[in-house]
Structure 1
Amino acid sequence: MAAIDIRAVQKSFGTIAVLHAVDLSIATGEFVVLVGPSGCGKSTLLRMIAGLDEVTSGDILIGGRRVNDLDPKDRNIAMVFQSYALYPHMTVAGNMSYSLRLRKFAKEKIDAAVSSATDLLGLRPLVDRRPKALSGGQRQRVAMGRAIVREPQAFLWDEPLSNLDARLREQMRAEIKKLHQRLGATSIYVTHDQIEAMTLADRIVAMDGGHIQQIGSPLDLYERPANLFVAGFIGSPAMNFFEGRYRRAGDAAFLDLDAGASISVPARPVADGFDLTIGIRPEHVLVGEAARPGAPVCPVELVEPTGVGAILHVRFGEAPLKAFHLGRTALRSGESVAVSLPPEKLLLFDTKTGRRLDD
């Protein structure tokens, strides 16, 4: 396995720039997830690492070796695609061994590599089947096995679970995580699904508009998002946001909301009247008996049961607010409930720049 270094990499298609001076270092054995909305540049970056797209400027190093001018076959990396890309006329064993046969490996080594991979992935009973006789999850495991037998320096995963249903995605996430723990392989994984990013990654790279917005552990991005984009993209249900103006009153601080309410916020060294956006995650909103004394009573517009709890959609002043209520609730649409926003759970952002204000 090898470290991967991306140094000031840019990518343009004609006059359109899609990646802007990206810098990223991935340690040997690390599992890094590139996450962001469609068109943010994450798949383009992965394809440049693989050698499928050319680098406009900057350098990509794998194991300390500059690979910009190397063909994909010479980079010693393996890629798992969204579409599985299996040969329909070949068996499971044939698909997994194909790249080794092309490279003229000895039959004994090929058989040993395929045998090890099929055992690791639970494919031993399926080795003689063709792809049409496999489920979606089984096909994805075959694609993973085809990558494993090559013993590459790094694994690249290009949205490998997006074609699976929700139950299979959950199962395959766990299998990929276990596989990484067993192999200790350097891995770069691309997804637009922030749940995949949170559950799989050692570090997440959040991207938007061809720029890296933040790099950190899943909890870093969840609890200390660098800006409004990361705060809004990471987390499900999504974070609540309110805009207003900062106001000091002695030792206390408030945000006078555009939505027509005023709430207590942590003090920050900013001027009165400064435009702020506050964020609070739905699970931190206190409702009903948990709300603090004097909390405003807000109308409930929608209740979404989730099994482990319910997402309450309420009207806070003139603004919509989501609260996650753990456990069962008797609340129904049209009723009212007390709601409070704990100041210690609020995140403050500069409305103009989007940057989070330091604690």
Structure 2
Amino acid sequence: MGSISINGVRKSFGPVHVLHNVDLDIADGEFIVLVGPSGCGKSTLLRMIAGLEEVSAGDISIAGRRVNELAPKDRDIAMVFQSYALYPHMNVAGNMSYSLRLRKAAKETIAKAVSGAAAKLGLDPLLERKPKALSGGQRQRVAMGRAIVRQPKAFLFDEPLSNLDARLREQMRAEIKKMHGDLKATSIYVTHDQIEAMTLADRIVAMHGGVIQQVGSPLDLYDRPANLFVAGFMGSPAMNLIEGSYEAGQVRFANGVSVASGDRPGLSAGSAVTLGIRPEHVAIVGEGGLAASVDLIEPTGFGIIVHTVVDGLPVKIFTQDRAVMAAGRNIRITFPSERLHLFGANGQRV
């Protein structure tokens, strides 16, 4: 396997700048997830690593070798696409072995590689079937098996689960994570699904507007988002973000309501701030705190998303207390100061 280094990479389509000075080092055997909304540049970056898009500026290296001008077939990478891209006239074994047959590998080598990959992915009973006789999840496993038999330096996944239903996505996430644990392969995975990012990644790369916003472990991004974009993007239901001003250990909102935030040495009195608190950290209390009217209830089974209004400000709560199921009643809530996130006028974490 091999490490991947991305240095000062930019990509433009004519006058449109898609990626801006991207720097990222991926260690040998690491599982990196590129996450962000549609149009943030994550798939473009993956395609540049694969050689399917040209680099406008900067360098991409795989296993210490600069690959900017190398054709995709010479980069020793394997890509798993959203659309499976299986050959309909070939059976499962034929699809998985195709790249090895193109290389004129020995029959024994091909048989061993296909057998090993099929065993890892539970495809042994399906080797003689054609793609049309497979389910979506089985087809995606075949696409992964086709990548595994090549034993590449890196695996690239371009939203491979987005065509599957929720149950199959859950199953395939587990299979991809198990495969990575078995192979210890350098992997880059593109998704807009934050659950996939949180459950699969060694490190997450959050992207927005062609710029890397934050790189870190899943819990780093969740517990200490670097800016407003990461705070709002990571987590479901999304973090509550309320604009206000900082005044001596408190944040005052536009409606006059104040909450204790603790001393923040980096802020001066009157500084514009955005206060963030995750819905699961908003506490429902019997007395004291802030008065909130329940506007909407969304039961999820595991818990309940409660939409409330505090003096005109919307606040979401996630709770497992089913006593809040009566919509229209009033409750009282608090924002624990140790759970608050503050962001300055520039959108960066304070």
Offset at residue 330 of structure 1 (A)? 4.6
Equivalent pair of 2:285/2:334 in contact (CA under 8 Å): no
C-alpha distance in structure 2 between counterparts of 1:260 and 1:128, whole Å: 69
- Cα deviation 1:8-58 (Å, max 9, x = unaligned): 000000111100000000000000000000000000000000000000010
C-alpha distance in structure 2 between counterparts of 1:28 and 1:40, whole Å: 25
Aligned to 2:40: 40
Report the TM-score, using the length of structure 1 for normalisation.
0.96
Equivalent pair of 1:297/1:338 in contact (CA under 8 Å): yes
Offset at residue 188 of structure 1 (A)? 0.3
C-alpha distance in structure 1 between counterparts of 2:224 and 2:324, whole Å: 33
Aligned to 1:274: 271
Q: For residues 76-91 of structure 1, what are the structure 2 equivalents within 5 Å?
A: 76-91=76-91
Offset at residue 203 of structure 1 (A)? 0.1
Q: Does 1:254 align with 2:247?
A: no
Q: Does 1:336 align with 2:333?
A: no
Q: For 2:112, give the aligned amino acid.
A: A
C-alpha distance in structure 1 between counterparts of 2:329 and 2:178, whole Å: 46
- Cα deviation 1:78-136 (Å, max 9, x = unaligned): 00000000011110001000111111111111111001111110000000001110000
From 280, 283, 288, the equivalent of 2:280 is 283
Q: For 1:342, give the aligned amino acid.
A: P
Q: Does 1:356 align with 2:343?
A: no
**Pair 132,327 (structure 1): closer, same or farther in 2 beyond 3 Å:** farther
Offset at residue 267 of structure 1 (A)? 1.2
The answer for unaligned runs of 5 or more in structure 1 is: none
Equivalent pair of 2:83/2:160 in contact (CA under 8 Å): yes
Q: Tell me, what secondary structure is at the counterpart of 2:264? A: coil
Aligned to 1:119: 119
Aligned to 2:107: 107
Equivalent pair of 1:310/1:329 in contact (CA under 8 Å): no
C-alpha distance in structure 1 between counterparts of 2:199 and 2:312, whole Å: 35
Q: Aligned residue pairs: how many?
A: 349
Equivalent pair of 1:300/1:335 in contact (CA under 8 Å): yes
Give runs of ≥4 in structure 1 deviating > 2 Å. 327-331
Offset at residue 295 of structure 1 (A)? 1.1
Q: For 2:20, give the aligned amino acid.
A: H
Aligned to 1:347: 341
Name the Cα RMSD after superposition: 0.9
Equivalent pair of 1:260/1:318 in contact (CA under 8 Å): no
Aligned to 1:244: 244
C-alpha distance in structure 1 between counterparts of 2:324 and 2:281, whole Å: 20
Q: Does 1:324 align with 2:318?
A: yes
Q: For 1:263, give the aligned amino acid.
A: V
Aligned to 2:71: 71
Aligned to 1:294: 288
- Cα deviation 1:190-227 (Å, max 9, x = unaligned): 00011100000000000000000000000000000000
The answer for unaligned runs of 5 or more in structure 2 is: none
- Cα deviation 1:259-305 (Å, max 9, x = unaligned): 4311111211222111010000001000144xxx5212211001111
Offset at residue 327 of structure 1 (A)? 4.2
Q: Tell me, what secondary structure is at the counterpart of 1:109? A: helix
Q: Tell me, what secondary structure is at the counterpart of 1:329? A: helix
**Pair 259,82 (structure 1): closer, same or farther in 2 beyond 3 Å:** farther
Aligned-residue sequence identity (percent) comes to: 66
C-alpha distance in structure 1 between counterparts of 2:273 and 2:349, whole Å: 10
Report the TM-score, using the length of structure 2 for normalisation.
0.98
Q: For 1:320, give the aligned amino acid.
A: P
- Cα deviation 1:222-242 (Å, max 9, x = unaligned): 000000000000001100011
